[in-house]
Amino acid sequence: MGKDVLIIGGGVIGLCSAYYASQQGHRVTVLERGKPDHGGCSFGNAGMIVPSHFVPLAAPGMVALGLKWMWNPESPFYIKPRLDLDLLRWGWGFFQAATAGRVRQAAPLLRDLHMASRACFEQLQSRPDGAFGLAQNGLLMLCQSQHALDEEAAGAAKARDLGIPAEVLDAAQTAKLDPGVRMNVAGSVYYPKDCHLAPSRFMAALRRHLDAAKTKFLWETEVTGCRTESGKILALATNRGEVSAEEYVLAGGIWSSGLSAGLGLRLPMQAGKGYSLTLPQPRELPRICSILTEARIAVTPMDGKLRVGGTMEISGLSEQVSPRRVQGIINAFPRYFPNFKTEDFRDLPVWHGLRPCSPDGLPYIGRPKKFSNLVVAAGHAMMGLSLGPVTGKLVAELLSGEKPSINLSLLKPDRY
C-alpha cells in the first residue's frame, strides 16, 4: 500500500527520490522553495557520472593544498576566513576525516554508489520518453605535468584494485582517443566507465516522468517550522500554509542543514560555490568529457555546446560571483586546449551554484533516530548528479520498509 510522501527539495536528489518513490506506488508531493524554472546546482553543473570519483573531498593532502591555495584569488579552492562557529566545526571535522584510513573505508562505498547510479541512468535513458543524451564515452583526467600524471597513475592503480577500469595514456595516445580537439598535455588517465549528459535535459526528463505519475509540486514554498509528536513529524509549516504527509524526505541541498536544525537534528554542511560557463559555438568540440587535473576544472560537451566549470569556494550562503575565480577558470582552460582563447568567454553568462559539502565529503542518506517517518538525502557535494538516481532508489527502499540495496552505515544522518 502506497504512502503519502512529502519531499523537501526539487533538485536532482529530490526529483530522483520522487521518481523512485512513485515507482514504488507512493503518492508524492515535491515542495520546492524556488520557482519551476529555478536554476540550482542540478542544472549548471558539469553533467558527469563518475565511478572514477571514489575518493571523497576530505582526503589526505587536501588541508595542506587548501591552505596553499587560499592566498591565490584565482585558485580552484578557497575558504573565506570568517568568525563562524559552524565553519570552525566543519573545518575540524574535515581535518579529522582527511585520513588514508577514512578514504580506504569510503572508496568501496563510493564505487558501489556510482556504479549502481550509472546502471540507473542507463535504465532511465532506455525509457521511450526518457532520452536525455547519456554519452558513455568515458572521462579523461588531463595532466600537463609529468608529476601530475604520476599522481593520477597512482590513483588509476587504486581504481583498478577496486575493479574500476583505468588506463594511463601518454600525450599521443590521449590525442588519438579524442582526435577532434588539440590538447597540450603530458598525458592522461582514461576512465572508460564514466559518462556525461546535459543536466537540464535530465531534469526535464525527470519532470516528464513525474508529471505522468501525477506527482504534485508546491513551488515557491518554504518550510518555516514543524509539528512533531512521539518521534514523528506531523506537519510542516510553510509560507503557504501547513502541509502534512505520512513520510517526509529532506532533500533540500545546502538548505537541508538549516532545516534539520529546526527539527533538532545536526547535519553540518558548508556551501561549496562552483561556477560554470557554456560556450555556445566552441572552436572545437571534444567527444570525451575531461577534468583538467592541475586546474581542477571540468570540461563537458553538451548538445554541441561546451561547458567549462570549476572552483570550490567556501564562503557561506553568499550568491555573490567572484570575478577573479571565474577568471581563473577562463585563464586555465586554453593552457590545456591551446586552440581556444580567453576572449572566447567574453560576455558569457556565469552560472553559479552552492554545493552541499559535509565535513567528511560523504552524503547523508538514511533515517535519523529521532524521527521514524523522516528520510534524509543531502550533502552530496560535487557528486549530486552522479549519485542522484541511486540516492533516489535508496530513499524509495527506505520509504517502503525494505533493506537498502547498499550498506548505508557510513552515511548515517546521525554521524555528527
* Structural domain contains residue 33: no
Give the other-Cβ count within 10 Å of 62's Cβ. Answer: 19
Residue 298, pLDDT score? 98
Residue 299 structural domain? 54-84+134-195+270-356
Own/partner pairs, 321-326, CB within 8 angstroms, 24+ separation = 321/275, 321/350, 321/352, 322/73, 322/273, 322/275, 324/73, 324/74, 325/73, 325/74, 325/75, 325/78, 325/275, 326/275, 326/277, 326/350
> CB of 27 within 8 A of CB of 4?
yes
Phi, psi of 369 (to 5 degrees): -65, -30
* Structural domain contains residue 376: no
* Structural domain contains residue 288: yes
Give the DSSP letter of residue 76: S
Residue 62, pLDDT score? 82
Domain count along the chain:
1
Residue 414, pLDDT score? 97
* Structural domain contains residue 76: yes
C-alpha cell at 201: 535535459
* Structural domain contains residue 15: no
User: Each residue of 205-230: pLDDT tens digit?
Assistant: 999 999 999 999 999 999 999 999 99
| Interatomic CA distance for residues 297 and 334, integer angstroms | 12
DSSP per-residue letters across 186-248: SEEEEETT-EE--HHHHHHHHHHHHHHTT-EEETT--EEEEEEETTEEEEEEEBTEEE--SEE
* Structural domain contains residue 393: no
Q: Which of 343, 380, 44, 354 is nearest to 202 (CA)?
A: 44
Q: Which of 91, 121, 135 is nearest to 285 (CA)?
A: 135
Q: What is the CATH number of the domain that holds 154?
A: 3.30.9.10
Residue 172, pLDDT score? 98
Residue 226, pLDDT score? 95
Provide the CA 312 distance to its chain's centre, in angstroms.
Answer: 12
* Structural domain contains residue 257: no
Residue 60, pLDDT score? 87
pLDDT tens per residue across all 416 residues of the chain: 799 999 999 999 999 999 999 999 999 999 999 998 776 788 899 999 999 999 999 888 887 777 777 777 778 888 877 888 999 999 999 999 999 999 999 999 999 999 999 999 999 999 877 789 999 999 999 999 999 999 999 999 999 999 999 999 999 999 999 999 999 999 999 999 999 999 999 999 999 999 999 999 999 999 999 999 999 999 999 999 999 999 999 999 999 999 999 999 999 999 999 999 999 999 999 999 999 999 999 999 999 999 999 999 988 898 899 999 999 999 999 999 999 999 999 999 999 999 999 999 999 999 999 999 999 999 999 999 999 999 999 999 999 999 999 999 999 999 99
* Structural domain contains residue 242: no
| Interatomic CA distance for residues 379 and 377, integer angstroms | 7
Residue 66, pLDDT score? 76
Helix 12-23 and helix 199-212, axial crossing angle in degrees, nearest 10? 30
Q: Which of 319, 243, 196, 276 is nearest to 31 (CA)?
A: 243
Give the other-Cβ count within 10 Å of 324's Cβ. Answer: 11
pTM above 0.75, yes or no: yes
Give the DSSP letter of residue 11: S
| Interatomic CA distance for residues 397 and 249, integer angstroms | 12
